[in-house]
Structure 1
Amino acid sequence: MPEIPRLRTLEERHAVLEARIADEDNRPRPDAEQLIRLKREKLRLKEEMERLKGSLVH
């Protein structure tokens, strides 16, 4: 099933983005635009993971 490796890759990228968001958020003066970009990408990955998980169930 090619979806499983793809899902794992997305989960890894999602975790990396989560760490980058936390790092940026903890800076003394976080870059708001960078945070928005990172959060949007994280959401996009989450949505794609949910679609893949849904296709695995069916």
Structure 2
Amino acid sequence: MNNRHYSKTARSVRFDDAIIDASDKYLTKLRMRHTPMTFADLVRVSLTKYLKEKLYDDE
């Protein structure tokens, strides 16, 4: 029933310029621009952007 196949190695992850710009705004908003951007920050912003597009783009 479960047809998912997981591997131990992660696939490459790419972020477009819009995600990078949104991440920069996110860090600036938190006043953390002086700290390096982490992978968790990129994932958080990417997920937020994706959800906003899916939820509000259909209107």
Regarding TM over 0.5, the answer is no
The structure, 1 or 2, with the larger RCO (C-alpha pairs under 8 Å, 6+ apart) is 1
> What range is the shorter-chain TM-score in?
0.3 to 0.5
Name the TM-score, length of structure 1 as normaliser: 0.40
Q: Which has the larger radius of gyration?
A: 2
